[in-house]
Amino acid sequence: MKPAPANPDRNVAVFLHSNGSVTIDKPDALFEFNYVPHSREHDLVYWNLPLLIGWDRYFYVMSVTARAFLTPHPSVLAMIRRIWTELGGSYVFVHIRRGDKARESDLVNITRYTEVLQAKCNGSATVFVMSDGFRSHEEISLALAGDYHIVSYRVLMKRWGLYAAKEESTGHYQEKFDVLPEVQRRALAFELVASMYIGAMADFAVCTYSSNICRLIALFRGGKMNNNGVYSVDWPKWAVVVSNSLINIPDA
């Protein structure tokens, strides 16, 4: 059984205004973006929407919605600004997903990440690495040693004497995360959101579109689908996943 959230509140109104802003009628609310009961009709509308309005339009709508709804808490926003300032405003971003992702898709060798990064990089010498395990961080740090300055959330927290939750060695496993103490889960969530926004503001990002994080970073960056500075080392294009199946995007 999964632990209950600290402040469960299912009686909350969320308002999306015409100017793109969002207001919530209660503070500290937690949301589940699921619909109950499940409806096959709803599923079909969701699955077919990209085909009905076109992939470029669909990506644009998803991007606007993501940026409107997913607004960082002021404390997270302050950390994002501090990290961005430390990075000097010019850096590249790498996200490596391991752990239980192996149950869904093939894991990509670190060499592939470094090849894409080096091929696309023509100036930035700082690389911000977001990973779900310290082994992945160590691997890419060794692979890029001497040519790039490697930074991560944890490196900066240690430098500043701030708390960072313990990191798994081999990656994120949801069942392990669910039983962690609440303070650790909150710290890991804080790190995830802050790092994700750092990825959205990077000169460019190298990641895997099989990861929700990578696809969300693309939405945060906006621009045109598959042409916004996100380079995937597995799926060739941004896509939508429903019922563990990939909706294929036809070639333009």
Q: Is residue 28 part of a domain?
A: no
**Domain, as residue range, for 124:** 74-247
Residue 17 lies in a domain: no
Residue indicated by tokens 């790498």: 94
3-state secondary structure of 76: helix
Q: What is the pLDDT of residue 23?
A: 65
Return the SS3 of 110.
helix
Nearest to 131 by CA among 187, 161, 86, 172: 172
- Residue 16: CA count within 13 A, CB half-sphere: 9
155 pLDDT band (50/70/90 cuts)?
very high
Which of residues 57 and 46 earns the better pLDDT score?
A: 57
Residue 238 lies in a domain: yes
How many domains is the chain partitioned into structurally? 1
Residue 102: count of CB within 10 angstroms of its CB:
12
Is 103 part of any domain?
A: yes
Residue-level pLDDT at 156? 95
pLDDT band at 7 (very low <50, low <70, confident <90, very high): very low
The pLDDT, as a whole number, for residue 28 is 47
> Could you tell me the CATH number of the domain that includes residue 230?
3.40.50
User: Per the domain annotation, does 151 fall within a domain?
Assistant: yes
